[in-house]
Structure 1
Amino acid sequence: MAEHDPSYKLLFSHRDLVADLIRGFVHEDWVEQLDFTTLQRVSEIGVSHDLREREDDMIWRLRWGERWVYVYLLLEFQSSVDRLMAVRLLTYVGLLYQDLAAAGEIPSGSPLPPVLPIVLYNGEKSWWAKTSLDDLIEPDLPEQLRRWQPQIRYLLLDEQRLADTELAGQRNVAAALFRLENSRRPEDIERVLASLIDWLAAPEQDSLRRAFVVWLKRVLLPARVPGAELPNVNNLQEMRAMLAERVKTWTEEWKQQGLEQGIQQGIQQGIQQGIQQGIKEGIKEGLSRGEARLLRRQLLRRFGALPTWAEARLEQAGEAELEVWADRVLEGATLEEVLEQPI
């Protein structure tokens, strides 16, 4: 997927998708008390002028009883894992509090509102960075010093490691998005689209339906079928019909692409293995030839010019023979005694 593709962020600018993300993937009791009818982008409440919103984050809020809860959603599309993600979020949440206070969203004397940081990651490699800042700080600290250290945790959603059975069992728009991202066959995409068409049938969801179409055309299908000509489709029904029509052709293209990739990888691995083996054999051969030259010089000094049979023996000798002859060169009385076949 293209890094920070605008069409992906466009999807998470829709309330229904963000609401399903929270409902389906924040497995905590307090979520049941959230009022999702109050869910709104922070940019919609007049804070965006001051808020330092980056291209890879989205900030939402909704009511939890009489209080606001802020959801800081960071979309992480980098190919490498950021080891210091907890540090980044500590900075981002601190800036959020500053800007909310400056915009008058935190009345004087009121406590700070809670913030739920979520990192949504879709990289090929598994996420391995610590999700708690406390785990990044020097562990061997006196308890009195440790209590002064900052603390923050974030909820990690590693999309490609989410179990397909868990995703498929949910009537959830966010889960459908993750299933699409993890799909590898046209029929899998078509099956998810059928669910989305059913779930997003309401007129007020037209904008989200269009956002899915844009993302499918700009990101998912070009990644799955590189170079394929995509027809101009404008809604999810047309997208599903197009997939049904082309499923056989594209399946063959995907198989061929996979075969070609497999052959290319096999060739590259074979070349690398051949080079490595050649280097090993070359080093071994070089060492053997070096030992043979050294032994020849020693034999010349002891016995003078070497006869043809002795030169041939040295040329054809293996590592084991050379080692035995090197031990004998100082003890053997004659050249024949030194160059006997090793016992």
Structure 2
Amino acid sequence: MSVSKRQPTHDSGYKLLFAHAAMVRDLLRGFVPGDWVQMLDLTTLERCSGSYVTDDLRDRADDLVWRLRWGDDWLYVYILLEFQSTIDPWMAVRIQTYLGLLYQDLIRAEQLSAAGRLPPVLPIVLYNGAQVWNAAETLEHLIEPAPPVLAAYRPRQGYLLLDERRLAKAKRQPTRNLSAALFRLEASRGSGEAMAIVRALIDWLQDPAQTSLRRAFAVWFGRVFLPKRLPGIHFPPLTDLMEVYHMLAENLEAWTDQWEQQGLERGLEQGLEQGLERGLEQGREAARHILIRQVRRRFGPVIAEQSAPLLARIIDLQQLEELGDQLLLSSNGEEWLRHVREADA
């Protein structure tokens, strides 16, 4: 199989999926907190332009903008969707910029309420990175303290952060929810787990009206999701979810180890990054935690318990990362423990 030259980004893949009203509808139903969501008329979802031109003719674009009716009035709630796979410490500033451009565009187009006012906006940041999001979620936390007299002029723009990996691990999950299925796919730890989710998507998207979304999921699988999990493998163009399901089924055994290896490497890389950013000891702890969790999955709790004190004595992050390779190469628990004892010697 040939190596893929260039893969579409997380951002472009999500734009393809969330260009469908069904995905946005399930995102709102399943993950936006508050009873006010029940007052939204989700059947009125409309896609809006997400590109703007500033007064000095510079082009600016956000990701996706949708609108829908709220309650009995023709009041629109605009939903800004921003997709992130890395942490942006200035996200609140970006959101305020996008919101200002959106409002300028609505004023020019005279798309105001009957009272001549602007609509409320719900900015959503959809994040699927491995690290815990640590950026400020309101603009005021990015601004230095000022005299009390200036408090009234301090911008407070915020956004709703939806951290996919944490949401996918939550005990209570929305049922039959397309966005929840996407989050679980992103957090899946093996091709067997992904197969079960794809099977559910096939069942949910049988209506001919969902043909475009079925195709969008298949394209995302073939061009974004699978290449990220199985780098170096060239995948044929996929346009149907049943093709995805059969491909996973046919290659389940062959891909399982590589899939797990990629997940382990991503986790260990995260530990190394945390070591650089937050101190070496936190990085070591993150790497050890990931290794012990994988040992428990492969060889059971007894081997995991025996591994823990041995790994605790290893302080070289690079050595911990190399043990991740040995974990997947070991055919049994005793072989794995031998590698750990050699590293600890």
TM-score exceeds 0.5: yes
Say which of 175, 180, 199 aligns to 2:204. Answer: 199
Structure 1 residues not aligned, in runs of 5+: 273-343
- SS of structure 1 residue aligned to 2:153: coil
The residue number in structure 2 matching 1:63 is 69
**Which residue identity is paired with 2:143?**
I
**Which residue identity is paired with 2:141?**
D
Q: CA deviation at 1:55?
A: 5.7
The residue number in structure 2 matching 1:245 is 250
Say which of 28, 31, 42 aligns to 1:25. Answer: 31
* TM-score, structure 1 as length reference: 0.69
The residue number in structure 1 matching 2:318 is 269
The residue number in structure 1 matching 2:45 is 39
CA distance in 2, matches of 1:91, 1:207: 32
Would you identify which runs of 4 or more consecutive aligned residues in structure 1 move more than 4 Å?
47-56, 165-169, 255-268
**Which residue identity is paired with 2:191?**
P
CA distance in 2, matches of 1:128, 1:107: 36
- SS of structure 2 residue aligned to 1:243: helix
* TM-score, structure 2 as length reference: 0.69
- SS of structure 1 residue aligned to 2:225: helix
- 1:73-92, aligned counterparts within 5 Å? 73-77=81-85, 79=86, 81-92=87-98
1:121 counterpart = 2:127:
yes
Percent of aligned positions that are identical:
51
**Aligned CA distance change for structure 1 residues 148 and 240 (closer, same or farther; 3 Å):** same
**Aligned CA distance change for structure 1 residues 147 and 261 (closer, same or farther; 3 Å):** closer
CA distance in 1, matches of 2:10, 2:259: 26
> What is the count of residue pairs matched by the alignment?
266
**Which of structures 1 and 2 has the bigger CA Rg?**
1
The residue number in structure 1 matching 2:176 is 171
Say which of 219, 226, 234 aligns to 1:221. Answer: 226
- SS of structure 2 residue aligned to 1:38: strand
Structure 1 residues 290-334: Cα deviation after superposition (integer angstroms, max 9, x where no partner): xxxxxxxxxxxxxxxxxxxxxxxxxxxxxxxxxxxxxxxxxxxxx
1:235 counterpart = 2:243:
no
Say which of 129, 136, 142 aligns to 1:136. Answer: 142
Structure 1 residues 91-150: Cα deviation after superposition (integer angstroms, max 9, x where no partner): 1101100101101212685121100011111222211011111222233531x3201222
Q: CA deviation at 1:174?
A: 0.6
Check the 8 A contact 1:116/1:154 in 2, yes or no. Answer: yes
**Which residue identity is paired with 2:100?**
G
Say which of 100, 110, 128 aligns to 1:104. Answer: 110
